């Protein structure tokens, strides 16, 4: 495990259980009589995985919206807020893919800017004080899903391999959202981890309070 991931997981002892409500999981495909016998269990795994992933991603999107607004990127902030709000009516592959793409771009952009920019206004500093802890909470939540990505994908692959030729397409469709999350979630989390140290350094350089555990665990080399 990389050092930054260790830092993230140790942050504050933050509880992410509140993020895992499954509120965002409705809208997933339902299953019918023609499905393989154990697909109900795999569907339940999908509901939880997608709900947990989206809840964590919403925290990240909201944090990034605050970050980009504080740096003067109002249009980017509006797009990120829109991505977060879109999940209120259900989680689909299109919504997750769009939010992930926008989030990665925002992460790279803010990380680069934070190397040279300063927060001058009180409003911008307030936004950063809110954004950085919330960002870390979201990354912690998604990092902790690593075993779930693997477990769900294994279950999905088993369902597909055991389905009859007539059922394969149906099973793939029913499990498509979970499979997308399980396939793309790890790379998304990795991209966030690569920029998290920039946000913490930026907070330190601008006298913005950050979680004490994150500061101590970061180490002198960071």
pLDDT-based confidence at 152, cuts 50/70/90? very high
Task: Give the global pTM.
Answer: 0.77
Residues 6+ apart with CB under 8 A from 23: 51, 55
Query: Does residue 175 lie within any of the structural domains?
Result: no
Query: Does residue 36 lie within any of the structural domains?
Result: no
Query: Does residue 171 lie within any of the structural domains?
Result: no
Query: Does residue 161 lie within any of the structural domains?
Result: no
Q: Are 102 and 80 contacting, i.e. CB atoms less than 8 angstroms apart? A: yes
Mean per-residue pLDDT, 126-137: 83
For the stretch 64-112, pLDDT in tens is: 999 899 888 999 999 999 999 999 999 999 999 999 999 999 988 888 7
For the stretch 6-44, pLDDT in tens is: 444 444 443 333 444 444 444 554 444 444 557 889 999
Ranges of H-type helices in the chain: 3-10, 39-70, 74-86, 93-113, 122-143, 146-162, 168-174, 176-205, 212-218
- Residues 142, 129: Cα–Cα separation, whole Å: 21
Query: Does residue 7 lie within any of the structural domains?
Result: yes
Number of structural domains (the chain) is 1
Query: Does residue 194 lie within any of the structural domains?
Result: yes
Query: Does residue 69 lie within any of the structural domains?
Result: yes
Question: Which residue range forms the structural domain that includes residue 8?
Answer: 3-13+50-146+187-208
DSSP assigned state of 164: -
Query: Does residue 76 lie within any of the structural domains?
Result: yes
pLDDT-based confidence at 127, cuts 50/70/90? confident
Q: Are 54 and 96 contacting, i.e. CB atoms less than 8 angstroms apart? A: yes
């Amino acid at each position: 495990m990389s050092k930054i991931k260790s830092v993230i997981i140790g942050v504050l002892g933050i509880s992410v259980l509140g993020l895992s409500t499954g509120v965002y999981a409705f809208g997933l495909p339902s299953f019918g009589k023609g499905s393989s016998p154990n697909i109900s269990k795999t569907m339940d795994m999908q509901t939880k995985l997608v709900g947990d992933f989206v809840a964590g991603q919403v925290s990240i999107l909201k944090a990034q919206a605050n970050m980009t607004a504080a740096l003067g990127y109002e249009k980017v902030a509006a797009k990120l807020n829109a991505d977060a709000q879109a999940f209120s009516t259900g989680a689909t592959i299109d919504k997750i893919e769009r939010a992930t793409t926008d989030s990665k771009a925002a992460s790279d952009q803010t990380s680069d800017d934070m190397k040279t920019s300063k927060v001058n206004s009180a409003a911008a500093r307030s936004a950063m004080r809110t954004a950085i802890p919330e960002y870390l909470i979201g990354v912690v939540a998604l990092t902790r899903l690593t075993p779930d990505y693997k477990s769900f994908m294994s279950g999905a692959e088993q369902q597909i391999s055991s389905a009859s030729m007539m059922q394969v397409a149906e099973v793939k469709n029913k499990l498509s959202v979970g499979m997308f999350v399980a396939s793309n979630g790890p790379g998304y989390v990795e991209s966030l981890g690569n920029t998290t140290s920039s946000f913490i350094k930026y907070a330190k350089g601008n006298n913005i309070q950050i979680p004490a555990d994150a500061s101590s665990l970061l180490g002198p080399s960071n």
